[in-house]
Amino acid sequence: MSESEIDTVSRYVLSRKTIPKEDIDETYRGRANLGMIRFESRCGGCHGIGGEYEVDMIGPTLSSPQFISYASEEFLKTTIVNGRNGTAMPSWYFLKDKEVKDIIAYVVRENSKFPSLAETKTEMKRPGAAERGQAIFRGRCAACHGFEAEGRLGPSLKSPELQALASDQFLYQAIMHGRRGTAMGAWKHISTRDAGALMAYLRSFESGVVRSHAKVAVGSESAGRDVFARVCAQCHGHEGIGLIAPAIGGRQFLESSDDRFLRETISYGRTETPMRANLSGTHGMADLSAQDIDDTITYMRTLQKKTFSTIGKSVSQGDIATGRSMFARNCAQCHGDFGGGESGPAIGRPTFLSTVSDGFIEGTIANGRSGTEMRGFSPGQDALGELGEADIRAIVAYLRSAEDAHLIRAKRVQGTASNGHQLFDRQCAQCHGTRQENGFAPRLSSSGFLNAVSDAYLQAIMSMGHGDSMRSMIRGGGGIVEMTGSEINDIISYLRQQNEKE
């Protein structure tokens, strides 16, 4: 067949993939009890029962508190429906919308119930709450906000101006719901007692004096847009999506910040942070009048009504060359050269980068994922190395640049071919035959077949099965044979070894 004929046949085969049409119920939030059944039957083989970490899994753990904190419903839905090209994560496009929502509800089940503000404030009054909160802060928050809350990737939380302006509601919303699209995840899974202790610690810092009035800002949106672009965007990004300073254009931030909060911060800045005063006469970064500041606030309120998303966008400011060097030194041994994937996920591939924000990547690098091999790289996180704020941003900038994306090769699994030979003869040869004899199922040792498929394809087929005759072979998959992820990789390594010998 000619290349054009092969292309025509391929397009025809792919056209047989039918996407179910259905009425989507926007009000349906998913049922975790149904999601548990769907997850264990479709996802548990690769991700572990309950998404819990297990040795020899093919897919990453999904139960880590850090992962749940950063993973938005949009991220999870996109990954489930579209899969991850070049990995063993297939597209589950045929699942109904309610089925997908059920699975998501199960994955994020620990975030479904969280302490109320009233319960949290009660816990704040417990004797010794602030001291206990300091220990919690250093274990959970210091990676981004610094050991003494002085600020790293995240802003300083001990600034007197912030303490004077931020209400308990402001702090509570930031902790429980995070800041979408940034490295500040939603920490809904912490206990009521821990939430109260953490709030008590944050309230133990010295508070400043508020100099601004509390009137609602009245100004010109267009004039404010000009001021924002000239004065604010160089640090906070276009429409406040965040660059070297926090994202201040998101609905979550703006809904929890009143006009007095914004007016005071713009006018007088924050000590212990790069945020300088801007009010005329304060000798700060800019020379803005009170009306200029109210115009800016009026413009910012229009951002509150817009959809705020940094998914798939390059926001972090970092040196790409430095990021390339840092990635090779600290990340490539698990995530593969250029992020193509090895024992760790393929974080350099477009199918991953298009589904996450820079904050998702930054937060994961800084905090790691508890219960997995992914350790936090922020100072004091007990990792093999330590990365500063500039280093982390440089790695993200490097991944986003896609300068080396063309160098990514198909992922090759790491396995023991000799063990794979024994497993193949015992578990696969009766159907697929040996190198000397054909079986009734396709001959897997064929060089034509092996040259056409990736290791990720083989992982997926062996884990999930194929059609009515090829059953799942992964542990917990409900097949006749149950193997670990390492054993599946051993078989694939054996097949590759035999193909290279031909």
pLDDT of residue 191: 92
Residues of the chain with pLDDT under 70: 19-20, 51, 53-56, 111, 383, 502
CA distances from 175 to 54, 183, 189 (A): 29, 12, 10
**What are φ and ψ of residue 213, in 5° steps?**
-80, 165
Chain-centre distance for alpha carbon 381: 19
**Three-state SS sequence of 91-123:** CCCCCCHHHHHHHHHHHCHHHCCCCCHHHHHHH
> Which residues are within 8 A (CB) of 496 and not within 5 positions of it... i.e. 6 or more apart?
412, 417, 450, 455
pLDDT in tens, 339-377: 998 888 899 999 999 999 999 999 999 999 887 888 899
Tens of pLDDT, residues 199-230 = 999 999 999 999 999 999 999 999 999 999 99
Would you give the distance in Å from CA 409 to the centre of its chain?
Answer: 23
Tell me phi and psi for residue 446, to 5 degrees: -60, 130
Asked if 339 contacts 331 with a C-beta cutoff of 8 angstroms, the reply is yes
Is the Cβ–Cβ distance between 60 and 372 less than 8 Å? Answer: yes
Give CA–CA dist 243/437, Å, rounded.
61
Count Cβ atoms below 10 Å from residue 428 Cβ, excluding itself.
Answer: 21
DSSP 368: B
Nearest to 180 by CA among 82, 259, 253: 253
What is the pLDDT, as a whole number, of residue 53?
61
pLDDT (0 to 100) of residue 147 = 92
Backbone angles phi, psi at 161, to 5 degrees: -65, -45
Q: Which amino acid is at 441?
A: A
pLDDT of residue 373: 84
Rounded distance between C-alpha atoms, residue 276 and residue 271, angstroms? 8
The dihedral formed by the CA atoms of 14, 312, 65 and 317, expressed in degrees to the nearest 10: 150
DSSP category for residue 19 = P
Q: Which parts of 127-198 are beta strand (E)?
A: none
Name residue 466's beta-bridge partners: 470
Q: Which residue type, as a one-letter code, is found at position 440?
A: F
- pLDDT for position 55: 61
Q: Is 14 exposed, middle or buried (0-12, 13-18, 19+ CB in 10 A)?
A: exposed
Name the residue type at position 244: I
Q: What is the pLDDT of residues 26-73, one digit of tens each?
A: 899 899 999 999 998 888 888 887 767 666 678 888 888 889 888 888
Cross-strand partners of 470:
466
Give residue 380's pLDDT. Answer: 76
- Structure tokens that stand for 277 in this block: 């005063």
Vertex 252: Cα angle to 246 and 254 (nearest 5): 75
Euclidean distance between CA atoms 188 and 141, whole angstroms: 14
pTM of the model: 0.86
CA–CA separation, 88 and 181 (whole Å): 26
pLDDT per residue as tens digits for the range 421-445: 999 999 999 899 887 788 888 888 8
Question: SS3 of 279, please?
Answer: strand
What confidence score (pLDDT) does residue 502 get?
A: 64
Q: Exposure of 23 by Cβ count < 10 A (0-12 exposed, 13-18 middle, 19+ buried)?
A: exposed
Q: Do 98 and 143 meet the contact criterion of CB atoms below 8 Å apart?
A: no
Tokens of 361: 């990547």
Spatial neighbors of 264 by CB under 8 A, at least 6 apart, are 161, 164, 165, 210, 211, 212
What φ, ψ does residue 349 adopt, rounded to 5°? -85, 145
Q: Are 182 and 121 in contact (CB under 8 A)?
A: no
Phi and psi torsions of 180, nearest 5° = -55, 135
Token pair listed for 474: 């992964």
Looking at residue 101, its pLDDT comes to 95
d(CA 208, CA 264): 11
Sequence-distant (6+) residues with CB within 8 A of 350 are: 402, 405
Angle, to 10 degrees, between the axis of helix 168-177 and the axis of helix 117-124? 110
H-helix or E-strand spanning residue 121:
helix 117-124
pLDDT value for 231: 96
Measured CA distances, 359 to 11, 192, 352, 367 (Å) = 37, 26, 14, 12
CA distance 290 to 264: 11
Domains of the chain, first to last: 25-111 (1.10.760.10), 117-202 (1.10.760.10), 221-303 (1.10.760.10), 320-407 (1.10.760.10), 417-501 (1.10.760.10)
